[in-house]
Structure 1
Amino acid sequence: MTAKRTYTRHRAAAALLLLTSAFIAPAQAETLRGALAKAYASNPTLTGARAGQRATDENVPIQKAGGRPGLDLTGSYSESILKPTISFTSPQRTVNAQATLTVPVYSGGTVRNGIKAAKIRVAAGQASLRGTEASIFSQTVAAYMDVIRDMAIVSLNAANVKVLEVNLQATNDRFEVGDVTRTDVAQSQSRLALAQSDYQTAQANLITSRENYIALVGEAPDNLEAPPQLPGLPADPDAAVQVALKDNPDILAAQKQREARGYDVKAARGSVMPTLSAFTQAGYTNYLDSLDNGSAGGGSQINKQAAAGIQISVPLYQGGRPAAQVRQNQALESQAIEQEIEAERSVIAQTRAAYASWQASLQTIDSNQKAVAAADLSLEGVRAENSVGSRTILDILNAEQESLNAKVQLVAARRNAYVAGFSLLAAMGHAEADDLGLESGTLYDPMVNYDRVKGKWFDWDFDPAARPVATRTVDTPAQNANVDAASARQP
């Protein structure tokens, strides 16, 4: 009976550890908002997308350049090595300079429509940038919740190993006094070995989650705090779809791309229209006293000229190129129309699926909470019945395993519910920096760069050399699976 009482006390202590290890809050914690702010500021996918958008902005001044005046200056110096034998007026050396100013007057609509297409593509790019932002945030939320989930699972499995170690010790004690058989000892040993294997797998999963977190956020996860409640979740899938059709950035980007393709068609049609330009030319030639004009007194060694006028060009035949270009852009416009419908279909499917996953996860949480309570009650009852000899060691081992499985499934369900809820907000277009109220200083506004460059006209107005914005992670230490008592928690 002494061995039984020792066994019961060990079981009670180990069970208390198993129940509390995943619920203790950290003293100092990183918040989800803080993690999102770090990803917003330094994630290379996002900072790279911003650089790509700045490149798209430059298409507007590039298109505008086609309708602006052009000024060319050419100069040359020539030295005659061998003068023609039959020429008596050929100069020995010549300095020549010529300036030409050309002002486009009419280009058949090519420039005008090209500018409009470029402006619309800027808007499309800004919508795509919003989509990239929401995607990075969704990945960051998933990585954040993965770390919390896997820390809790590691803690639960560690506690389970300790419980089974106590079980094995108590079973050995009871075997020594003849209270149980060798079979009971073997069953305890087998279950402990399996638990140790599950614990090692959980540790590997935690390391993977931590490294993935570093790849997204740029820093190692440190005592992650439980996330806040998600705001603005819809009451039903139809309401979610209506919001998504209006606010989802992928749909907005596809719409803008389709509009831009329409202007591409108009710009291509301009290639068969006449073009009109005004020009001014001025020239200067100096023969450097090397011109022999056959007269005793010599003649002028300098020639100056200037001219102004207009030039009209009427294309009559270009080998079929204009028609091919128009047809090509019409086909691309048709493709953009289909891509807009494709984006709409995809967003509708994503929104409905995310809503269904969110609802299913909420129901799973409720079911798993009941399962945890029932498994704990069952485990307590089996232990009590074992103490009076009506239950075997295997019954206790099975009950402990069921209790562990229920807790692990509850942790996973809570993670899945939160990630699905955030994915639903992202599909609705409401998971961006403005929506989340990130405390990361001034938020990136793509219009600032666009307003800066859209009217630039100077040929030498370069930007500084490119420098990295995203942070590197090569100096972060390799992650481990250590979980202290202050960090283990459920999502």
Structure 2
Amino acid sequence: AAAAGVAQARAALLPQVSAQASLAESVGDSTSISTFPDPNNPGGVVFGPNASSSDTRTRSLGVNVRQSIYDHADYTRLNAAKAQAAQAEALRTAAEQALGVRVARTYFDVLTAIESLASARAQEAAAKRQLDQAETRLEVGLAPITDVHEARASFDGARANAIAAATRLDDAREALTEITGRPMAGLNGLAASFQPQVDDTEGLQAWVDRALAENPALLAAGLALQAAEANVATARSGHLPTLDLSGGWNDATRWGSVQQAGRPPFPADSTQDGHNVQITLNVPIFAGGAVRAGVRAALAHRDAAAEQLEQERRGVARQTRNAYRSLAAGAAEVEARRLAVVSAQAALEAGEAGLEVGTRTVVDVLLAQQTVFAAQTQFAQARHNFLVNELALKQAAGNLTPADIEAVNRLLTADAEASLDATK
């Protein structure tokens, strides 16, 4: 549509040619009072009716040509149309890049939901084991009834968490289906051996500078300002003169007959052939204030576009800095989350051993289990967020390509659904 706008604006600078053709028929009768020689009085006259009839046909052909020699508004409209076409292309690029990040984020949301459900089911199973053990220990007199109540409360809470996690997974799958248009099953996830790598030798400011120069959404805002400035020039052109060259050729042929009362019909044939050339200078003097009002409106739109550009520039800089910092901290966070899982698992094992010898309570073990499963979920989410932040940084810089999406896709080699199958 934007490209068509350029063609329409350019058309005003090109010759305008039109042709006309017509065929008309005219049939009529007329009566008038005329003077006639008086046959009874030589030299005298008498008054009487004079009737006549006509039957003619006319064929007309013509060609007209108009060429604008100077109209400043035509050039400024063309400039505005070109800026709008470039803006539309930049917005298309921005939408494509945003879609890539959106798909990746939604996909990893599904993977995170899968990990969360697997952890919730594992926690439910562990809580059920603790409940069974507490009931057994109660029967043999090795545990108080409070241990059973605490274990049952933990089991009920874990079961509720598993139900909620399953609902979140279904919603995450629906969100992915909404984007892709088809149900997505059999998803692949990151291998357990995946280690995030940050290979950046440029630094934060270099990324910000690149984003300010290449971000397509920011470029679109700049082009919108260019179009608004061209519209201001168009509005001001209402004060300027215009000069047009026009010309034409026409050919008209008439044939038929005219007959008067008491006389034989006589032909009424004629032919006209001519051409004309004209130069028209139009100098505006006063238009009732319409031009001034149009200029004020165009200036207001230009100022709004300038404000939007500045707002977009600040937003792009902030998004780039945030994505860079998140990515820089992401690798360290993933490692910290991995160590947290290891530590939580060790604490759980120690708590279970302490429960056997009586130095730990069932509450201690239940809390340790919750810590382990929460750490596992946070570890999975940190790995997923790292890859999303990597894509988001490239999107903010304006250089996200399908190859970047494919590179992330190649990292998805493990069966993400396997963890769910193992906890059913």
| TM-score interval, normalised by the smaller of the two chains | 0.7 to 0.9
Cα distance in 2 for residues equivalent to 1:97 and 1:310:
21
Relative contact order (C-alpha < 8 Å, sep 6+): which is higher?
A: 1
TM alignment of 1:125-274, pairs within 5 A: 125-226=88-189, 236-271=203-238, 272-274=240-242
1:71·1:99 contact (CA, 8 Å) conserved in 2? no
Query: Deviation string for 1:275-313 (max 9, x for gaps)?
Result: 2122213143546x3655898452334543332212304
**Pairing partner for 2:273 from 302, 305, 314:** 305
Unaligned runs of 5+ in 1: 1-54, 439-482
Unaligned runs of 5+ in 2: 33-49, 408-415
Q: SS in structure 2 opposite 1:306?
A: strand
Partner of 2:355: 386
Decide which moves more: 206-215 or 409-418: 409-418
Cα distance in 2 for residues equivalent to 1:376 and 1:293:
122
The count of corresponding residues between Structure 1 and Structure 2 is 391
2:27·2:54 contact (CA, 8 Å) conserved in 1? no
Query: Deviation string for 1:315-367 (max 9, x for gaps)?
Result: 33332323333333333333323322222111111111222333444443333
Partner of 2:418: 485
Cα distance in 2 for residues equivalent to 1:209 and 1:106:
62
2:251·2:274 contact (CA, 8 Å) conserved in 1? yes
Cα distance, 1:78–1:363 mapped onto 2, change above 3 Å: same
**Pairing partner for 1:72 from 18, 36, 55:** 18
- Give the drift of 1:406: 1.4
Cα distance, 1:400–1:435 mapped onto 2, change above 3 Å: closer
2:115·2:419 contact (CA, 8 Å) conserved in 1? no
- Give the drift of 1:242: 1.2
2:21·2:61 contact (CA, 8 Å) conserved in 1? yes
Cα distance in 1 for residues equivalent to 2:355 and 2:142:
12
Query: Deviation string for 1:389-427 (max 9, x for gaps)?
Result: 221211111111111111122222222232222212111
Q: SS in structure 2 opposite 1:219?
A: coil
TM alignment of 1:15-54, pairs within 5 A: none
**Superposition RMSD in Å:** 3.1
TM-score by length of 2: 0.82
Which structure is higher in strand share?
A: 2
Cα distance in 2 for residues equivalent to 1:219 and 1:213:
8
Partner of 2:333: 364
Cα distance in 2 for residues equivalent to 1:232 and 1:61:
46
Query: Deviation string for 1:49-71 (max 9, x for gaps)?
Result: xxxxxx11101111122122223
Question: Among the aligned pairs, what percent are the same residue?
Answer: 24
The structure number with the bigger radius of gyration is 2
Partner of 1:8: none
- Give the drift of 1:485: 2.2
1:110·1:270 contact (CA, 8 Å) conserved in 2? yes
2:118·2:420 contact (CA, 8 Å) conserved in 1? no
Cα distance in 2 for residues equivalent to 1:210 and 1:125:
32
2:14·2:68 contact (CA, 8 Å) conserved in 1? no
2:22·2:61 contact (CA, 8 Å) conserved in 1? no
Q: SS in structure 2 opposite 1:203?
A: helix
2:249·2:274 contact (CA, 8 Å) conserved in 1? yes
Q: SS in structure 1 opposite 2:283?
A: coil
Cα distance, 1:402–1:281 mapped onto 2, change above 3 Å: same
Partner of 1:466: none
1:73·1:97 contact (CA, 8 Å) conserved in 2? no
- Give the drift of 1:263: 2.6
- State whether structure 2 residue 20 is matched by structure 1 residue 62: no
- State whether structure 2 residue 364 is matched by structure 1 residue 401: no
TM-score by length of 1: 0.71
